[in-house]
Structure 1
């Protein structure tokens, strides 16, 4: 069952932020995790590209605006508690600032 959520019902943390997992819409590949605020959610829905809140720079950023690797929004989902988002996107280029396709290119393992 799919439930439609109004953006005003999203639950932001004490800094006014909500985590967003970004996933390639057709393959399910997890590309990145970033933070959104009310304005970046609104811009993402209105403009059809992903917008996030940079905690380090304290400003909005449109993913890929400078690199050309913009992410076209296909769907925006909220979890069961409305406190985490999942953006399904078409991301033809690298999603990571390192140039990697995904920010998740490192494995964690216990040393022997």
Structure 2
């Protein structure tokens, strides 16, 4: 990539995602009001296009090998309030309004356990609400 192309990607105003070798880009999802980290997923070009068109988060499931709209079976869709891309356009940040728990386990966030100091144990994060 030339210096001019790098500059355009990093400083320009054109969306030009840099997908990895598998055609994916990482998407971090947070709650738009609280800033709580809700989930991390991946998108391919079709998932990003569907998300931007519908306003509801759509991802690419690596395990299923297909697109999946968050909440397609549970109804817990993620309405995108704002989509941001990082400086070199290889990661997305979706600020969302969740219609229910983000995690398929029913937890508000997929990050509901902390790693203990021993490096082997997990402890649940207790939501003070």
Q: Same fold (TM over 0.5)?
A: yes
Q: Which residue number in structure 1 is paired with residue 8 of structure 2? A: none
Structure 2, unpaired ranges of 5+: 1-10, 120-129
SS of the aligned residue for 1:87 comes to strand
Measured at CA, do residues 109 and 15 of structure 1 come closer, stay the same or move farther in structure 2, by a change above 3 Å? same
Instruction: Work out whether residues 20 and 34 of structure 1, in 8 Å CA contact, stay in contact via their aligned partners in 2.
Output: yes
Q: Which residue number in structure 2 is paired with residue 47 of structure 1? A: 54
Q: Who wins on radius of gyration, i.e. which is larger?
A: 2
SS of the aligned residue for 2:82 comes to strand
Q: CA deviation at 1:65?
A: 1.3
SS of the aligned residue for 2:114 comes to coil
Which structure has more relative contact order (CA 8 Å, sep 6+)? It is 1
Instruction: Work out whether residues 5 and 78 of structure 1, in 8 Å CA contact, stay in contact via their aligned partners in 2.
Output: no
1:21 aligns with 2:28: yes
Q: CA deviation at 1:4?
A: 7.2
- Cα RMSD of the aligned pairs, angstroms, is 1.5
Q: Which residue number in structure 1 is paired with residue 14 of structure 2? A: 6
Q: CA deviation at 1:6?
A: 3.2
Measured at CA, do residues 110 and 50 of structure 1 come closer, stay the same or move farther in structure 2, by a change above 3 Å? same
